[in-house]
Structure 1
Amino acid sequence: VDPAYGGQGLPIVLNQCLYEMMNSANQAWAMYPGLSHGALECLHAHGTEAQKATYLPRLASGEWMGTMCLTEPHSGTDLGLLRTRAEPQPDGTYRITGQKIFISAGDHEMSANIVHLVLARLPDAPAGSKGISLFVVPKFLIAADGSPGERNAIWCTGLEHKMGINGSATCQLELEGALGTLVGEPHKGLASMFVMMNAARLGVGNQSLGLTEVAYQNAAAYARERLQMRALSGAKAKDKPADPIIVHPDVRRMLLTARAYAEGGRALAVYIALLIDKMLASDDADERRECADLTALLTPIVKAFLTDNGWIATSHCMQVYGGHGYVRDNGMEQFVRDARINMIYEGTNAVQSLDLLGRKVLADNGAKLRKFGKIVAAFVEDNGTDEAMQEFVNPLADLGDKLTKLTTELGMKAMGNADEVGAAAVDYLRVCGHLVFAYFWARMAKVALAAQAGGDSFYAAKLATARFYFAKLLPETAGLIRSARAGLAPLMAMDEALF
Structure 2
Amino acid sequence: MPTAELSDAPATGRGTLLAALAEHAAAADREGRPSPEVLAAVRASDVTGLVAPPHLGGAGAGQLAVNRRIAEIARHDPSTAIIVFQHLAVSSRIVEWGTAEQQRDLLPRLASGEWLAASAWSESGAGAAKRNLATIAEELPDGSWSISGGKAFTTGAGLADVYLVLAQTTQVEDDGEVYGSTGQSFFLIPADTPGITPDTSLDLVGMRASATGFIELDNCVVPAGAMLGPRDGANRVIAGVRQSGATLGAVAVGIAEAAWDHAFEAARKRGLLDQQGLRFRLTEVRTRIEAARALVERAGRCDAPDPGAVTLHSKIFAGEVAEEVVQTLARLLGSAGYVISNPINRMARDARAVALMGPTNDLARELVSTPWTL
User: Which TM-score bucket, shorter chain as reference?
Assistant: 0.7 to 0.9
1:64 aligns to what SS in structure 2?
coil
Q: Residue deviations 1:474-494, cap 9 Å, x none?
A: xxxxxxxxxxxxxxxxxxxxx
- Partners in 2 of 1:32 and 1:349 — Cα distance? 19
How far is 1:10 from its partner?
3.1
- Of 229, 249, 255, which residue of structure 2 is paired with 1:184? 229
Unaligned runs of 5+ residues in structure 1 are 142-151, 228-243, 276-290, 364-499
Structure number with higher relative contact order (C-alpha < 8 Å, ≥ 6 residues apart): 2
Matched-pair contact (CA < 8 Å) for 1:69–1:100: yes
| Equivalent residue, structure 2, for 1:337 | 349
RMSD across aligned positions (CA)? 2.1
How far is 1:350 from its partner?
2.1
1:95 aligns to what SS in structure 2?
strand
Matched-pair contact (CA < 8 Å) for 1:72–1:101: yes
Q: Residue deviations 1:283-334, cap 9 Å, x none?
A: xxxxxxxx36331231121010110111000111111112211223331111
| Equivalent residue, structure 2, for 1:211 | 255
How far is 1:246 from its partner?
5.8
| Equivalent residue, structure 1, for 2:171 | 125
Cα distance 1:331–1:101, how it changes in 2: closer, same or farther (>3 A)? same
What is the correspondence of 1:380-395 to structure 2 with a 5 Å cutoff? none
- Partners in 2 of 1:246 and 1:159 — Cα distance? 48
Q: Which has a greater percent of helix?
A: 1
1:117 partner amino acid: L
Unaligned runs of 5+ residues in structure 2 are 1-50, 175-180
- Partners in 1 of 2:152 and 2:85 — Cα distance? 19
| Equivalent residue, structure 2, for 1:38 | 89
Matched-pair contact (CA < 8 Å) for 1:318–1:325: yes
- Partners in 2 of 1:194 and 1:318 — Cα distance? 38
- Partners in 1 of 2:366 and 2:238 — Cα distance? 20
| Equivalent residue, structure 1, for 2:287 | 260
2:67 partner amino acid: Q
Cα distance 1:213–1:90, how it changes in 2: closer, same or farther (>3 A)? same
Aligned-residue identity in percent = 25
Matched-pair contact (CA < 8 Å) for 2:66–2:246: no
| Equivalent residue, structure 2, for 1:162 | 204
- Partners in 2 of 1:198 and 1:159 — Cα distance? 34
| Equivalent residue, structure 2, for 1:116 | 163
Aligned residues: 314
- Partners in 2 of 1:86 and 1:255 — Cα distance? 53
TM-score normalised per structure 2: 0.78
- Partners in 2 of 1:16 and 1:81 — Cα distance? 31
- Partners in 1 of 2:339 and 2:243 — Cα distance? 36
| Equivalent residue, structure 2, for 1:409 | none
Q: Residue deviations 1:329-362, cap 9 Å, x none?
A: 3311111110001111112222222222222x55
Matched-pair contact (CA < 8 Å) for 2:304–2:310: no
Matched-pair contact (CA < 8 Å) for 2:135–2:148: yes
- Partners in 1 of 2:239 and 2:162 — Cα distance? 17
- Partners in 2 of 1:175 and 1:62 — Cα distance? 25
| Equivalent residue, structure 1, for 2:77 | 26
- Partners in 1 of 2:241 and 2:294 — Cα distance? 23
TM-score normalised per structure 1: 0.59
Cα distance 1:63–1:198, how it changes in 2: closer, same or farther (>3 A)? farther
Q: Which 4+ residue blocks in structure 1 deviate beyond 6 angstroms?
A: none
- Partners in 2 of 1:164 and 1:316 — Cα distance? 19
| Equivalent residue, structure 2, for 1:137 | 189
- Partners in 1 of 2:249 and 2:274 — Cα distance? 29
- Partners in 1 of 2:280 and 2:319 — Cα distance? 19
1:296 aligns to what SS in structure 2?
helix
1:88 partner amino acid: E
Cα distance 1:92–1:193, how it changes in 2: closer, same or farther (>3 A)? farther
How far is 1:190 from its partner?
2.4
Does residue 1:172 correspond to 2:204, yes or no?
no
What is the correspondence of 1:362-441 to structure 2 with a 5 Å cutoff? 363=374
| Equivalent residue, structure 1, for 2:27 | none
- Partners in 1 of 2:365 and 2:162 — Cα distance? 31
- Partners in 2 of 1:263 and 1:78 — Cα distance? 30
1:293 aligns to what SS in structure 2?
coil
